């Protein structure tokens, strides 16, 4: 027993440093995005770049750049070969204009606005339902803040577009028949329209409605077969064959979700009408590979939203039952979220 205790103590001594300096990885990766390291390597046509070439291209001093690269190579973000640095599957997601880029989401979560509420997380835990961490920091909730700060609203919409570019291909792969028999879909809380643009491209028979707050859809780009409509999902949702909600309901407490879902249920029409929810799920099984991501997202909800949370399957079933759906299915896809199909 003493030997086991000594081994556990040694592991704890190593592990605690990861929590003390947990911000370092985010900070250095943010630095890499802002410097444009992945973009420079991608533009080099797949050939390795030496430190000298990289520092010249980025107009950086070689010494601190070397230390940045040494750290990120150790974290497998980049790879160092005998002839220079190259991309890895991780750093390909840092290319700012890549199809699977996650750069904008990291820039959102590492922004001063989103980092500051973590300093007030204990306030929310002590005073649950009285003052959220974001409100304690900024004096208003996330959505009010975004409405009054266009630059942060853009960061928020760009970050959500990142998640869409990762999730929609996984939806197509994992649930290819999702839109069979569906002619029109309204993307509720669709942001800048990235999700619905990807959906109508993947399913050529679809017509889409991108629905969000007026100040959000005002920045959306025109797209064939997509109409942008501003409004309030707590009051009404445009009529369609299907209502689609991706990474929306986890922002809200149960009663708000039930209200949104009831409104969406009333908005869908036709024999094949349904509400499609794409959101994370808390799974207790150790072998579930996205368990840690789900638990981290739950902490994000606590820090940034008014009582939003990630839910277990039982918690999802509860709000779907309360919203009046007769049946629903849960389908895993090769990504963090599940696809939930709910029928009136």
User: pLDDT of 283-342, one tens digit each?
Assistant: 988 788 899 999 999 999 999 998 899 999 999 999 999 999 999 999 999 989 999 999
Q: Which stretch of DSSP H or E encloses residue 112?
A: helix 112-115
- Compute how many other C-beta atoms are within 10 angstroms of the C-beta atom of residue 21: 10
SS in 3 state form for 208-276?
EEEEECHHHHCCCCCECCEEEEECCCCCCCCCECEEEEECCHHHCCHHHHHHHHHHHHHHECCCCCEEE
Could you give the angle at the alpha carbon of 268 between the alpha carbons of 259 and 160, nearest 5°?
Answer: 65
What whole-number percentage of the chain has pLDDT above 90?
A: 80
* Length, in residues, of the chain: 344
**pLDDT (tens digit, 9 = 90+) per residue, 226-275?**
999 999 999 999 999 999 999 999 999 999 999 999 999 999 977 779 99
Which pTM value belongs to this model? 0.90
Looking at the annotation, which residues are catalytic?
Answer: 250
Q: CA-CA distance, 226 to 65, in Å (whole number)?
A: 44
Q: Supply the mean pLDDT for the chain.
A: 93
d(C-alpha 60, C-alpha 258), whole Å: 52
Position 128 confidence tier, pLDDT thresholds 50, 70, 90:
low
């Amino acid at each position: 027993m003493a030997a086991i205790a000594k081994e556990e103590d040694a592991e704890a001594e190593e592990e605690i440093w990861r929590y003390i300096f947990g911000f370092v990885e985010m900070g250095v990766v943010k630095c890499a995005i802002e410097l444009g390291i992945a973009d420079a390597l991608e533009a080099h046509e797949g050939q390795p770049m030496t430190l000298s070439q990289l520092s010249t291209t980025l107009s950086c001093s070689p010494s601190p750049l070397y230390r940045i690269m040494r750290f990120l190579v150790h974290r497998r973000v980049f790879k160092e070969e005998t002839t220079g640095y190259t991309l890895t599957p991780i750093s390909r997601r840092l290319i700012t204009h890549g199809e699977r880029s996650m750069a904008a989401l990291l820039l959102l979560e590492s922004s001063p606005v989103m980092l500051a509420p973590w300093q007030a997380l204990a306030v929310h835990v002590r005073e649950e339902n009285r003052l959220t961490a974001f409100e304690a920091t900024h004096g208003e909730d996330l959505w009010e803040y975004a409405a009054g700060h266009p630059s942060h609203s853009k960061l928020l919409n760009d970050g959500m577009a990142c998640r869409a570019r990762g999730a929609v291909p996984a939806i197509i792969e994992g649930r290819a028949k999702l839109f069979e028999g569906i002619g029109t879909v309204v993307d509720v809380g669709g942001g800048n329209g990235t999700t619905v643009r990807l959906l109508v491209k993947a399913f050529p028979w679809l017509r889409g409605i991108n629905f969000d707050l007026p100040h959000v859809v005002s920045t959306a780009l025109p797209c064939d077969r997509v109409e942008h409509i501003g409004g309030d999902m707590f009051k009404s949702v445009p009529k369609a064959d299907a209502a689609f909600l991706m990474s929306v309901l986890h922002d809200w407490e149960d009663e708000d979700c039930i209200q949104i879902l009831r409104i969406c249920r009333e908005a869908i029409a036709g024999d094949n009408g349904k509400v499609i929810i794409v959101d994370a799920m808390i799974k207790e099984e150790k072998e579930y590979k996205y368990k840690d991501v789900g638990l981290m997202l739950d902490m994000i909800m606590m820090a940034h939203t008014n009582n939003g949370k990630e839910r277990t399957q039982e918690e999802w079933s509860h709000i779907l039952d309360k919203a009046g759906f007769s049946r629903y299915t849960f389908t895993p896809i090769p990504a963090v979220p599940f696809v939930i199909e709910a029928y009136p």
